[in-house]
Amino acid sequence: MNFPPVLLLAAISGVLAIVSAPWALGQPWLNYVFKPATTLLLMLWAWPRGAGHPMQPWIRRALVCSLAGDVALMWPVSGFLPGLGSFMLAHLAYIVAFTRGGHRVWWWPALAFNAVAAAAVLGWLWPSIPADLQPPVLVYVVALSCMAALAAGRWQALRQDAAQAAQVSGARLAACGGLLFMLSDSLIAINKFAGPVPMDSLWVLVTYWVAQACFVSALPAPAATITRSRPWHFAS
């Protein structure tokens, strides 16, 4: 596969963050260094993409909020609410991004699917969530599921617009990213409220960073660096 160097660095940094866990190397300092570093490298890859595209400023804002959430959640007790708030702002920024461009992105099958999936996980975990956390968690889940549904709706809308054929591949990746983000956050919630998930950092962080990369891929690559690649490659 033909990844740009910054994505290879992000992958290496992500592996070092993942193996910081007790089930692997058990070196917490690796997490403190390489977890934010991985998101920063994804931001570095994202920053030159999509010049003039209406989604660009909102995806940038979402990544900045995500970085703040990453840092907060490195302290899972005291940082949980700040992290939740940071990622809520990230989802709101992605919601705005996916509604740019004048397309009708409210696609009812995606809304229904995400609502049912979110309600199922939330209903299962609800008795285990402390009462003071239930309202913010509920609001967060609504924002998350709406974001994922709108990403899918944008893909569906672009598929039906022949003039936007060049953006369909990126929109499809963003739709996959929405589902992966829901999966990642579901695993975090299960791990926190229902019991430990085996090798949780592996599943949570891989799905999270791949989701972010999928969202960034919805932005066109800089013209000077576009190369021939298969549709599922992340362009440089």
For the chain, domain boundaries = 5-225
The residue-averaged pLDDT of 44-63 equals 95
Is pLDDT above 90 for 91? yes
Is pLDDT above 90 for 2? no
The residue-averaged pLDDT of 128-157 equals 96
Which of 65, 91, 224, 215 has its CA nearest to residue 234?
215
What pLDDT is attached to residue 166?
81
What pLDDT is attached to residue 160?
86
Is pLDDT above 50 for 233? no
Alpha helix (H) ranges present in the chain? 5-18, 28-46, 56-72, 80-98, 108-125, 134-159, 168-193, 200-216
pLDDT band at 162 (very low <50, low <70, confident <90, very high): confident
Least confident interval from 88-102, 118-132, 149-163, 192-206: 149-163
14-18: long-range pairs with CB below 8 Å, 24+: 14/38, 14/205, 14/206, 14/209, 17/201, 17/205, 18/201, 18/202, 18/205, 18/206
Q: Please state, rounded to an integer, the average pLDDT across all residues of the chain.
A: 91
Question: Residue 119: how many CA atoms within 13 Å on its side-chain side?
Answer: 6
The residue-averaged pLDDT of 112-139 equals 97
pLDDT band at 164 (very low <50, low <70, confident <90, very high): confident
Is pLDDT above 50 for 227? no
pTM confidence score: 0.90
